[in-house]
């Protein structure tokens, strides 16, 4: 398919710059994927759209403080976004200033976004420059303590307002550190809402998928078949695989909370019935890709021409998704990470 088939126009003022409070006050567009019918609700209304025995599967990955500021050895400030560890002291990263060649040396954690020089930085060397523009950085010491002291939560580039509380960019159930962006469909849940869902008879299970580069990188090809997904690490525990199988046998629905939960579950079912899985995934879901596990999807509104928009189109069809997006724009929904949600059922 053509990437241009997944384009739409969004007025910039509809990009949410801050989250609503409380979390479950976000709006919820409910799309019937069979008929295309649309309802408008609030996220707190979610229990009325689920049935006893339905299984919600969410991503429990936690966003790390992956953005570092520092200086080149030759002078000049530099910004680094760590993407994933390759070894204890080697990380794949996006580095501001693409002129940095192999062998260039950096001193990271010595400055903040708006801060003067500080002590306690760690040196890093550009060990490899990759074709996709990423770098492999070799650090002089362990990175995790530096991130805790001097790292910043990496908000998406379309959010221009500072976030008062970094925890607001974490789901309330985030526990496994490793993502560079939040699984945003889960940002709407509150403890009270989860309690009401349990009272309704719905169950929760958790997978892990550490969100990486493709969240930030646009699709740069014209044909979707030419796009290569970046590797992301995911885990589907045995208990989750069994819960999914039990749900399907009982004739109930598997409800994925977010596109990352879809990718984790469908990765674990690539060779037949779902089974436990721990490893890397490059699964790219577009219209026509079999979706074997997930029946219902809870998700946010996604960027034009993105792999995430292609995935939700695989669930309901490109035309129905784009029609729902047009309706959301007409009704003044808030878009992207801190925006409103959609339930595709």
pLDDT tens sequence across 255-305: 999 999 999 999 999 999 999 999 999 999 999 999 999 999 999 999 999
As a whole number, mean pLDDT of residues 182-204 equals 98
Strand residues in 113-186 grouped as ranges (E): 122-129, 135-139, 176-179
Of 212-216, 292-296, 320-324, the poorest mean pLDDT is in 212-216
As a whole number, mean pLDDT of residues 41-70 equals 97
* Predicted local distance difference test score (pLDDT) of residue 88: 84
Whether 248 and 312 share a structural domain: yes
Whether 177 and 141 share a structural domain: no
Contact 10, 154 (CB under 8 A): no
Q: How confident is the model at residue 164 (pLDDT cuts 50, 70, 90)?
A: confident
As a whole number, mean pLDDT of residues 111-126 equals 70
Whether 296 and 212 share a structural domain: yes
Whether 136 and 281 share a structural domain: no
Of residues 131 and 316, the one with the higher pLDDT is 316
Whether 39 and 135 share a structural domain: no
CATH of the domain at 212: 3.40.1780.10
96 part of a folded domain = yes
124 part of a folded domain = yes
* Predicted local distance difference test score (pLDDT) of residue 117: 47
Would the pLDDT of 68 be above 50?
yes
Q: Which of 150, 175, 197 is the last residue of a domain?
A: 150
Q: Which of 85, 116, 150 is the last residue of a domain?
A: 150
As a whole number, mean pLDDT of residues 167-177 equals 97
pLDDT over 90, % of the chain: 80
Q: Which of 117, 150, 183 is the last residue of a domain?
A: 150
As a whole number, mean pLDDT of residues 9-26 equals 97
As a whole number, mean pLDDT of residues 145-167 equals 90
Distance CA 160, CA 155 (A): 9
Would the pLDDT of 180 be above 80?
yes
156 part of a folded domain = no
Contact 169, 163 (CB under 8 A): yes
What is the separation, in whole angstroms, between the first and last Cα of the chain? 24
Whether 334 and 215 share a structural domain: yes
CATH of the domain at 107: 2.40.10.240
160 part of a folded domain = no
Whether 50 and 79 share a structural domain: no
Whether 188 and 87 share a structural domain: no
As a whole number, mean pLDDT of residues 311-327 equals 97
Q: How confident is the model at residue 116 (pLDDT cuts 50, 70, 90)?
A: very low
As a whole number, mean pLDDT of residues 236-250 equals 98
Would the pLDDT of 123 be above 70?
yes
pLDDT over 70, % of the chain: 96
Contact 6, 317 (CB under 8 A): no
As a whole number, mean pLDDT of residues 124-131 equals 93
| Number of structural domains in the chain | 2
157 part of a folded domain = no
101 part of a folded domain = yes
Contact 338, 19 (CB under 8 A): yes
Contact 78, 104 (CB under 8 A): no
Count Cβ neighbours within 10 Å for each residue of 226-239 and write b for 16 or more, e otherwise: ebebbebbbbbbee
* Predicted local distance difference test score (pLDDT) of residue 96: 82
Whether 314 and 200 share a structural domain: yes
Would the pLDDT of 243 be above 70?
yes
Whether 193 and 337 share a structural domain: yes
As a whole number, mean pLDDT of residues 322-345 equals 98
Whether 250 and 299 share a structural domain: yes
**Which residue range(s) make up the domain with 96?**
67-150
Whether 13 and 136 share a structural domain: no
Of 38-47, 54-63, 129-138, 192-201, the poorest mean pLDDT is in 129-138
158 part of a folded domain = no
146 part of a folded domain = yes
Taking the C-alpha atoms of 215, 219, 220 and 223 in order, what is their torsion angle to the nearest 10 degrees? Answer: 160
């Amino acid at each position: 398919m053509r990437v241009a088939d997944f384009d739409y126009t969004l007025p910039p003022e509809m990009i949410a710059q801050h989250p609503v409070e409380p979390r479950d006050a976000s709006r919820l567009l409910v799309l019937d994927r069979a008929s295309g019918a649309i309802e408008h609700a609030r996220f707190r209304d979610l229990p009325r759209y689920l049935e006893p025995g339905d299984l919600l599967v969410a991503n429990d990955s936690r966003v790390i403080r992956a953005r570092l500021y520092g200086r080149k050895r030759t002078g000049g400030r530099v910004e680094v976004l760590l993407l994933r560890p390759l070894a204890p002291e080697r990380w794949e990263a996006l580095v501001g200033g693409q002129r940095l060649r192999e062998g260039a040396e950096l001193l990271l954690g010595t400055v903040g976004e708006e801060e003067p020089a500080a002590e306690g930085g760690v040196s890093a060397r550009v060990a490899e420059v990759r074709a996709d523009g990423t770098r492999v950085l070799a650090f002089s010491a362990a990175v995790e303590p530096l991130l805790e002291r001097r790292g910043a939560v990496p908000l998406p580039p379309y959010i221009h307002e500072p976030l008062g509380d970094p925890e607001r960019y974490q789901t309330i159930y985030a526990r496994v550190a490793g993502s560079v962006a939040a699984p945003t469909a889960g940002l709407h849940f509150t403890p009270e809402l989860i309690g009401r869902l349990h009272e309704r008879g719905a169950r929760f299970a958790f997978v892990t998928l550490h969100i990486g580069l493709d969240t930030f990188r646009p699709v740069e090809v014209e044909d979707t078949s030419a796009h290569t997904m970046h590797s992301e690490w995911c885990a589907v525990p045995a208990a989750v695989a069994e819960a999914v199988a039990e749900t399907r046998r009982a004739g109930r629905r598997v409800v994925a909370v977010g596109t990352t939960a879809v990718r984790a579950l469908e990765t674990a079912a690539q060779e037949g019935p779902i089974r436990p899985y721990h490893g890397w995934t490059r699964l790219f879901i577009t219209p026509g890709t079999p979706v074997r596990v997930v029946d219902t999807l809870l998700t946010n509104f996604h960027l034009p021409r993105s792999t995430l928009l292609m995935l939700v189109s695989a669930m309901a069809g490109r035309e129905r998704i784009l029609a729902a997006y047009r309706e959301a724009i007409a009704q003044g929904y808030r878009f992207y990470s801190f925006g409103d949600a959609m339930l595709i059922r």
